[in-house]
Amino acid sequence: MAVIHHKSKTAGQAMKNEFINKFLLATVILAIVAIVVIGGCAKQAQSPLPLATQQSATEPARTVEQPVAPPQQAQQAEAEKAGTDEDVYNDNLNQSIEELSQLE
C-alpha cells in the first residue's frame, strides 16, 4: 500500500509539474504575442494620418508664395504709349489655338 501510495504521490507531482510547465509555456506565448501586438499598435498610433502630416509640413511653403503682380499703372501707361490701338483691342489668342493644334 505504501508503495502504491508513493507511486500515486509521484504521479500527482509529475502532473503538477506538467501543469506548471504548460502554464509557463502559455504565459510565455501570451507575453510574446502581447509584445508583438502592442508593438504594432504603438507603431500605428505614432503615425496617425501620415498624409495629412506630410501636407501640413508643406503648409508654410504654400502660404509664403507671393501671388501675381499685374502691371503697375506707370508701366501700363508706358506700355500703352508704346503699344498700338490694335494691341489694346486685339485678343491675340489665335496663337493659343495654333499652339494647341500643334499639340494634337
Partner 1 sequence: MVRRVKTDLFGKIAVAAVFIITVLSVLSLVAYAVSGPISSPKKTADTQQPAQPKAGEVTPDEAAKYKCSSISTTQDRIRCRLSLAEENEYDYLPEECRAQVNQSREKCVANYKKAQACWTSLNDTERFSCAKSAFGLAGTVASQKAACDALTGTNRSNCILDLRDRVDVVVKFRIYNLEEKAQRLMNKGVSEELVVDFVTLMEKSKQEYNAAKIIAEKKSIVAQVQETWQLFITKAKPQVKQ
Query: 1 vs 59, which CB is nearer to partner 1?
Result: 59
Site residues, partner 1 (CB under 8 A): 8, 11-12, 15-16, 18-19, 22-23, 26-27, 29-30, 33-34, 37-38, 40-41, 44-45, 48-49, 52-53, 55-56, 58-59, 61-63, 65-73, 75-76, 78-80, 82-84, 87-93, 95-97, 99-104
Nearest approach, Cβ of residue 103 and partner 1 (Å): 6
Dihedral (Cα; 28, 34, 35, 36), 10-degree rounding: 110
Distances (CA, A) of 88 to 13, 51, 75, 96: 107, 47, 14, 18
Nearer to partner 1, 2 or 63 (CB): 63
- Least Å distance, CB 26 to partner 1, is 4
Q: Which residues lie closer than 8 Å to 26 by C-beta, 6 or more apart?
A: none
Q: Is 69 left (phi over 0), alpha (psi -120 to 50) or beta?
A: beta
Angle at 82 between CA 78 and CA 83, to 5 degrees: 110
What is the nearest approach in angstroms of partner 1 to the Cβ of residue 81? 8
Give min distance, CB of 54 to partner 1, in A.
10
